[in-house]
Amino acid sequence: MFHGGGWWNFIYSEDKRPKVTWGLLKRVLEYARPYRWGIITLLGTILITTALGLVSPAVFGYVINNALTPPNLDPGRLNLFALLLVVIPLLTGAIRVIQRRINSRIGEGVIYDLRVALYAHLQQMSLRFFTNTKTGELMSRLNDDVVDAQRAISNTIVEIITNVITVILTLVVMLAMDWRLTILGVIVLPLFILAARRVGGVLRAIARDQMKYNAQMNAMMNETLNISGALLVKLFGRMGQEVDRFQDRAGKVRDIGITRAVIGAQFFVIIGLVSAIGTALVYWFGGHLVINGVWQVGTIVTFGMYLTQLYGPLQALVNAPVDFATSVVSFERVFEVIDLPIEIAESPKAIALDQVRGEIGFHEVGFKYGAPQTDLLSNVVRYENDEFSAFSDDLKKSPTGNGHGTSSQAREAALDQLSFTIAPGQLVALVGRSGAGKTTLTYLIPRLYDPTSGQITIDGIDLREVTLASLAAQIGMVTQETYLFHDTIRTNLLYAKLDATPDEIERACRAANIHEFISALPDGYDTLVGERGYRLSGGEKQRLALARVILKNPRILVLDEATSSLDSESEALIQDALKTVMQGRTSIVIAHRLSTILSADVILVMDRGRIMERGTHHELLALNGIYAGLYETQFSQQRETV
């Protein structure tokens, strides 16, 4: 029936078997605790339907023996019990509808609880986690794995309880009828167990691989079907290659689905054969009892019906560990995310920032992107064997891809022993070559990352000692890559201040030099910006981002003044808006424009993660060092426009 020991052993591997420990089981059952009264009610309905299921075979036997077998021919009894055979299924059906309603409420409730727990935990993860994890993997955990895990509570556990009750009650009735026939009926149970154990390991391994392949396919869809991914594919003409890659991944999903279905069918064929053997033994022995006058025909028919009712639950109980272990695979993957340590944790004694002056201090701050690695997902859905991974590995090995050169910024530490203080209300410009650590420095201020060493303070208070919400409220950040939700302009602006009035929104947009543009649109502030704001130009998105920050009204501004790729009109509007935004606020700006540098109170010149020079524009030029070189190569062409 199964195709060769080698193929079997290839699929069935002990190291892939999930361990159903008491600790894990207890944790799974914790998700059922809020629904305990619903489960108790469900158990009550199960008892009733099981009892009703035992009545029907007894009615059949009674009718045959007392209404249809000479000399006991009784039309009145036949009519009464025929009516009873209709009433019993009607009553059972009505109770099962109630059962289904309760069960679905429990199941959907568990899905809700798991998803919310997962999503809430992911919201607390650091930026490092998201830069090291594929979005498709997370979507797979939130969707496929949560649904599969839910089945353990709403289906598997409920079915186990139902089947245990059914088996116990049926065996009691059968033993009361004849212990010899009962033993003959259950003597085939070892064959059930052997088949289930043999197939169980295979189905567990297949279930795990099926989840992996689905996550792999989802990851690719998330990467290539968003606006940025689709744009990249089209610009490089890789549509054909991406279709081929998708065919490969979808093919694995298809093939393992077929394998699972075939093995499941083979299992049921074997179980059906085992059931047939047990039934044949009972009818053979019971038939001799009828022939010898020990039993009536109706009695053996009743016993045969009970036997049929027994084999179904027995089969399910033997296979229950397989089903539950398969669900445990999903719980393991869900719990893996929930158990990930929170790198940017809030201190239990954290205080809320209030009445912030805006003094920022860096004290011997160091930072490495490579550590720690404890907050990443396991390799359960890592795909080292696909073509793309092999291609990226080749790039890593390539001697031409090492990034070394005369101005290389490659290094182990992104930031190295930074110490400086920004006074309240100061404008500080960060300048340096690409990769010098400017953006990394700005990411540490709102605690997108925590420094590997040293301390960062606001008004003398360590950032680790303040609440994350109050820190976020005091800092406004505009990154080089502006992100907008696929929603209206108004909704994107309200993200900064949920209770902002229309007047406040308009004032913020006027300050950012974007109100006239919005007003000219057919739908005004209710215009959809498209996926990631792609319906707007770079300058328009940046001005919307500035308006959003103005609406937030933070005490500290962190700006990546990315205007180098904008047209002169957009650039002028943004520069004018920046002057308004920075007034009276402590501002840290990654400077791309000479005008910002000239107006800065302090310029910090970075190179290879260190601050090499600091001072005003004229002071730094007089040093004739790194800044003077940058000025000549990057900023001198802007002199005539300043």
Query: Would you state the pLDDT for residue 67?
Result: 64
Whole-Å CA distances, 399 to 156, 394, 396, 402, 403? 55, 10, 8, 6, 9
Contact predicate 361/428, CB 8 Å: no
Last residue of a domain, one of 323, 338, 353: 338
Q: Give CA–CA dist 50/67, Å, rounded.
A: 26
Place of tokens 């960060």: 430
Angle at 212 between CA 207 and CA 217, to 5 degrees: 125
Do residues 330 and 434 both lie within one domain? no
Residue 502 amino acid letter: P
Helices and strands: H and E segment counts in the chain: 24, 12
State the DSSP H helix or E strand holding residue 540, giving kind and residue range, or none if neither: helix 538-552
- Inside any domain, residue 543: yes
Strand order across the beta sheet in which 360-367 lies: 415-422, 360-367, 453-458, 461-462
SS3 content of the chain, % helix, strand, coil (to 5): 65, 10, 25
Q: What's the rounded Cα separation, in Å, for the pair 246 and 136?
A: 14
Residue at which a domain ends, from 316, 338, 360:
338
In a domain, 343, yes or no: no
3-state SS of 6-64 is HHHHHHCCHHHCCCCCHHHHHHHHHCCHHHHHHHHHHHHHHHHHHHHHHHHHHHHHHHH
Q: What letter represents residue 346's amino acid?
A: E
Q: Which residues contact 476 (CB under 8 A, 6 or more apart)?
A: 549, 552, 553, 554, 556, 557, 558
Q: 587 and 472 in one domain?
A: yes
pLDDT for residue 568: 67
- Over the chain (642 residues), the average pLDDT of each successive run of 10 is 36 46 76 85 88 81 72 73 83 89 85 86 83 76 77 75 86 84 79 71 78 82 76 75 89 89 80 78 80 79 82 75 70 82 85 89 89 51 35 36 45 85 92 88 91 93 91 87 84 89 91 88 87 76 87 88 60 73 86 81 92 92 89 67 50
- Are 429 and 306 found together in one domain? no
**C-alpha span between 350 and 466 (Å, rounded):** 5
Between CA 576 and CA 596 the distance in angstroms is: 11
CA-only gyration radius of the chain, Å: 35
User: How many domains, in total, are found in the chain?
Assistant: 2
257 touches 210 (CB < 8 A): yes
Whether residues 463 and 593 fall in one domain: yes
Q: CATH code at 201?
A: 1.20.1560.10
Same domain, 325 and 437: no
Do 328 and 443 lie in one domain? The reply is no
Residues 248 and 154 placed together within one structural domain of the fold? yes
Same-domain status, 190 and 63: yes
Render the burial of 221-247: b for 16+ CB within 10 Å, e for the rest: bbbbeeeeeeeebeeeeeeeebeebee
pLDDT at residue 422 in the model? 93
Could you tell me the CATH number of the domain that includes residue 519? 3.40.50.300
Classify residue 374: in a domain, yes or no.
Answer: no
Residue 467 lies in a domain: yes
Q: Which residue has the tokens 């549509």?
A: 239
Interatomic CA distance for residues 186 and 463, integer angstroms: 68
pLDDT recorded at residue 400: 38
Global pTM reads 0.70
Instruction: Give bridge partners of residue 614 from the DSSP assignment.
Output: 604
Strand partners for 361: 421, 457
In a domain, 312, yes or no: yes
Q: Is residue 287 part of a domain?
A: yes
> Which residue is listed with tokens 């009691």?
172
Whether the CB-CB separation of 343 and 125 falls below 8 Å is answered with yes
Alpha-carbon distance of 160 to 25, in angstroms, equals: 14
- Same domain, yes or no, for 324 and 434? no
Number of neighbours of residue 468 by Cβ within 10 angstroms: 16
> Is there a contact between 593 and 566 (Cβ–Cβ < 8 Å)?
no
* 206 CB-near residues (< 8 Å, 6+ apart): 11, 256, 259, 260, 263
Could you tell me if 527 and 634 lie in one domain?
Answer: yes
pLDDT for the residue numbered 103: 85
Give CA–CA dist 269/346, Å, rounded.
57
Distance CA 586, CA 427 (A): 6
Same domain, 334 and 428: no
Among 315, 338, 361, where does a domain finish?
338
Domain limits at 186? 22-338
Number of C-beta neighbours around residue 448 at 10 A: 14
Closest Cα to residue 61, out of 312, 304, 308?
A: 304
Residue 183 in contact with residue 67, Cβ under 8 Å? no
32/170 same-domain check: yes
Query: Are the C-beta atoms of 297 and 65 separated by less than 8 Å?
Result: yes
- Is 400 within a domain? no
Domain-located, residue 229: yes
Query: Phi and psi dihedrals of 476, rounded to 5?
Result: -110, 130
Contacts of 192 (CB under 8 A, 6+ apart): 271, 274, 314, 315, 318
Length of the chain: 642
